[in-house]
């Protein structure tokens, strides 16, 4: 038998434990045998196993075996990172991440779709900021990252992943300026996201007659962002203090809510979050 064919058959045997025999060498190509080895490696790679675990592909009986196949020692502390690149994820971004964290860690990087990557990092450090920096500087593209708390039980992987997906979704609606997010940092947005749409619409109708006009929305958002400070808001908006006070009073006359008070600011803040939420829901 041809030596090259023997080598490839031996590789397949070592990978799969299956011995193949060939009767006619002329009907077999080396490239075809190599494709078998490559396909097996990809299917049973740590990255592919992780992907299937996150997506809940394995039946209950196979799940435990799949988790063992990741070869992660018991009590290993780890964090899960979900990376969203709005443009598109290519091989360059994967190589950038694996070069930043070489070794075994690079085995646990998998593509979920064309814009999402998941990275299981074996360690306690929070690497979200280094990840974002290297993607944006070397990959020359924007990115958003959700990260989990530290955990050591691999059976929690799918739960952590689902929490991160929801965190990115909620963050994109209520605080789209945040590039790094934890499920623990969602604040009021998480609550509003889980309130039925009719309840949200009734809140706006009761307090604002249905909607807040764009000019009032912009002014209220800026005022809230600057912690209800007349001085800071007027400076940021390049507006005379008296003009700002007048415009705030006009909002009070229109809606009957004094945004300069804690209670009024709280109602406006909730209304702004609900408005952003309903825009997304109505466009779905």
Q: Where are the domains of the chain?
A: 3-43, 47-186, 195-283
- Please provide the CATH number assigned to the domain covering 47-186: 3.30.70
The two most distant CA atoms of the chain are separated, in Å, by 93
What value does the mean pLDDT take over residues 186-208?
A: 94
- Top-ranked range on mean pLDDT: pick from 26-35, 55-64, 97-106, 210-219: 210-219
Residues 190-199 have pLDDT tens digits of 999 999 999 9
Question: Contacts by 88-91 with C-beta closer than 8 Å and gap 24+?
Answer: 88/114, 88/115, 89/114, 89/115, 89/116, 89/117
The CATH superfamily assigned to 195-283 is PucR C-terminal helix-turn-helix domain (1.10.10.2840)
Beta strands at 180-181 and 144-147: parallel, antiparallel or unpaired: parallel
Count the Cβ atoms, other than its own, within 10 Å of residue 196: 8
Identify the band that residue 141 occupies on the pLDDT scale cut at 50, 70 and 90.
very high
Phi/psi region, residue 55 (left: phi>0; alpha: psi -120 to 50; beta: rest), is alpha
Residues 21-60 have pLDDT tens digits of 676 666 667 676 556 555 455 566 888 899 999 999 988 8
What value does the mean pLDDT take over residues 268-277?
A: 94
């Amino acid at each position: 038998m041809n030596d090259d064919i023997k080598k490839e058959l031996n590789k397949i045997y070592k990978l799969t434990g299956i011995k193949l025999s060939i009767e006619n060498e002329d009907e077999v190509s080396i490239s075809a045998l190599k494709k078998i080895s490559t396909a097996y490696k990809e299917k049973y790679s740590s990255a592919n196993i992780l992907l299937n675990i996150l997506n809940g592909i394995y039946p209950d009986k196979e799940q435990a075996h799949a988790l063992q196949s990741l070869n992660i020692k018991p009590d290993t502390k780890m964090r899960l990172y979900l990376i969203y690149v709005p443009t598109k994820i290519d091989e360059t971004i994967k190589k950038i991440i694996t070069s930043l964290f070489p070794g075994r860690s690079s085995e646990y990087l998998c593509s979920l779709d064309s814009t999402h990557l998941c990275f299981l990092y074996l360690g306690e450090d929070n690497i979200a900021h280094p990840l974002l920096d290297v993607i944006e500087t070397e990959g020359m593209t924007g990115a958003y990252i959700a990260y989990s708390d530290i955990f050591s039980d691999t059976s929690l992987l799918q739960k952590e992943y689902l929490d991160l997906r929801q965190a990115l979704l909620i963050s994109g609606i209520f605080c789209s300026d945040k590039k790094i997010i934890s499920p623990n940092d969602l604040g009021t947005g998480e609550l509003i996201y889980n309130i039925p749409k009719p309840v949200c619409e009734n809140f706006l109708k009761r307090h604002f007659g249905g909607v807040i006009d764009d000019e009032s929305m912009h002014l209220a958002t800026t005022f809230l962002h600057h912690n209800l400070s007349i001085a800071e808001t007027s400076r940021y908006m390049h507006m005379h203090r008296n003009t700002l006070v007048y415009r705030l009073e006009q909002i009070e006359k229109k809606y009957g809510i004094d945004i300069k008070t804690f209670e009024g600011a709280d109602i406006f803040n909730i209304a702004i979050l609900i408005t952003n939420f309903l825009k997304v829901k109505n466009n779905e």
